[in-house]
Chains A and B, each alone.
Chain A
């Protein structure tokens, strides 16, 4: 019985190895596939930077290419390690993720699921182009082993030379492939498809912070041609609601909104209401983040 089980297991492992080897040949970026069917999700959850495990066989590994390029994008997910146990990894005590920050957009990187030595001194930072300056530091989400890093690009220029750096003070000397973390990337920008302050119509923006922490950001007003016509910075404490008459910043025009902020992905709730007193019409437009 045991022999039969081992032989069958060997066949399964062989098949799994083919899959694992295939997975090893793809880049880490492609490992962030958003296809979430169960089989892929299970395999995905057991893939770290240096080891790819087949579903149900966490002891089976295949080595990924050394020093692969890492890039965060919306929907990116990866189980990664802070392994410094091999010669190629000596001196590499952090993982840097490139990220393309689009104009007037905001982002979040979440790191959780820490094992071993990583958790208590986990750092997730946005690093400047000089490679050392910390522009934004990640914050604890809950009891302290996970971090959320949020940042905004409020300029009209694309920023491609900053990186998200994951490190741990306890992984300078002895971390191995079993010291893992899970990283997720999000664009957190919201969009509202309509505001209208033309004629007698007036649009009110209702912006709710249902969380327990303060959120700051900027509301951008775009006309139908895509030209920015106004912007409005805001700060909301926990549970606060902003009721904002948009005709005070974008009078006599119509278009759409985007909202850039430093809240977590999906944390804000909002809508616009356009009122047309002449007819009694009212129009609601929901604010939605990018869906993954």
Chain B
């Protein structure tokens, strides 16, 4: 046992002496990720490990991203080590570095979540995610790491039907302890927008929406863009056909990854 301990110690010393000054993969390139010229992109399901070590210090990590119309997103930075955690900043910024939106603490403060929705009918390809830390201005190294994850948070529901005598009710639950805002979009079978319903819910609130008040006399499907964390909302539609007694449930699901 004692012999093994010395063996491990010796191996560690050998490795220390032979260790290169490597930072994270995206830092050490000529075309590095320290500005809006980054060629590292976050997409649905992206999952990366970075550091905020130099040189040079302070280090910043920039991530390109494409935002689709009527869609919502979340970036999470966690698994912080060393000096990063307490003052880590996870922001959505423009190409010049101006902060468009700051993230929020998820728990006790070392982990950050940044959520937003693109509620326009156009793609947005000119914004970036930036990670930095006030604790990493002078002495951070490759051991000061964090993990970043990215997801599209938009939900979909494959059916609503307000044709004839049928009426569809949307049940939208916020099971969390924080407020959530968003928009329910109504699409007809051809994919054209036929209505939308902005909403705001406090923690634990449930909306019971008669969708015939928003999209009367038509049918189709729903998408829901919002500022909650990935997978935090729960919901379904129920279509009722009084003339036959039929009822139809349709689940509300986020994009899996």
Q: Name A residues whose Cβ lies closer than 8 Å to a Cβ of B.
A: 6, 9-15, 17-18, 38, 41-42, 45-46, 48, 55-61, 77, 110, 112-120, 141-146, 178-180, 182, 184, 206-212, 236-243, 264-267, 269-271, 273, 275, 277, 280, 282, 284, 286, 289, 291-292
Contacts and interface: CB of A to CB of B under 8 A. Distances in A.
Contact of B16 (A10, A55, A243): A10
B12 A114 contact: no
Interface string B18-53: 011111111011110100000111111111110100
Given A144-B41, A210-B156, A113 B48 contact: yes
B25 A178 contact: yes
Contact of B189 (A211, A243, A269): A243
10 contacts: A11-B9, A14-B15, A113-B46, A142-B43, A178-B25, A182-B48, A237-B191, A239-B191, A280-B246, A284-B248
A186 to B, nearest CB: 9
Contacts of B79: 38, 42
Considering residues B28, B221, B223, which has the most beta carbons from chain A within 10 angstroms of its beta carbon? B221
Given A11-B8, A241-B158, A265-B256, A143 B65 contact: yes
A273 B239 CA distance: 11
Interface stretch (B100-108, B142-150, B209-217): B142-150
B98 interface: no
A14 B245 CA distance: 69
B190 interface: yes
Given A11-B8, A206-B158, A282 B256 contact: no
B11 interface: yes
Contacts of B226: none
A256 B178 CA distance: 40
A112 B65 CA distance: 11
B16 A57 contact: no
Given A48-B25, A58-B24, 11 more contacts: A45-B48, A143-B64, A143-B65, A178-B28, A180-B25, A182-B46, A206-B159, A210-B223, A239-B191, A241-B188, A269-B158
B25 A115 contact: yes
B138 interface: no
Interface in B235-257: 244-251, 253, 255-257
Interface of B: 8-13, 15-16, 19-26, 28-31, 33, 39-49, 51, 64-66, 68-69, 71, 79, 81, 125, 142-143, 145, 147, 154, 156-159, 187-193, 219-221, 223, 244-251, 253, 255-257
A88 B69 CA distance: 46
Contact of A42 (B13, B42, B71, B147): B147
Contacts of A14: 8-13, 15
Give the 4 A-B CB pairs with smallest separation, nearest first.
Answer: A14-B12, A142-B66, A266-B256, A239-B191
Given A113-B48, A240-B190, A59 B26 contact: no
Contacts of A48: 25
A242 B142 contact: no
B127 to A, nearest CB: 10
A225 to B, nearest CB: 28
Given A59-B22, A212-B68, A41 B12 contact: no
A275 B241 CA distance: 12
A58 B105 CA distance: 26
Given A18-B8, A182-B48, A57 B143 contact: yes
Contacts of A277: 244
Contacts of A141: 41, 43-44, 66
Contacts of A15: 8, 12
Given A117-B31, A178-B29, A142 B65 contact: yes
Given A48-B25, A59-B20, A265 B257 contact: yes
Contact of A143 (B31, B66, B158): B66
B220 A271 contact: no
A46 B49 contact: yes
A48 B25 CA distance: 10
A289 B158 contact: no
A269 B156 contact: yes
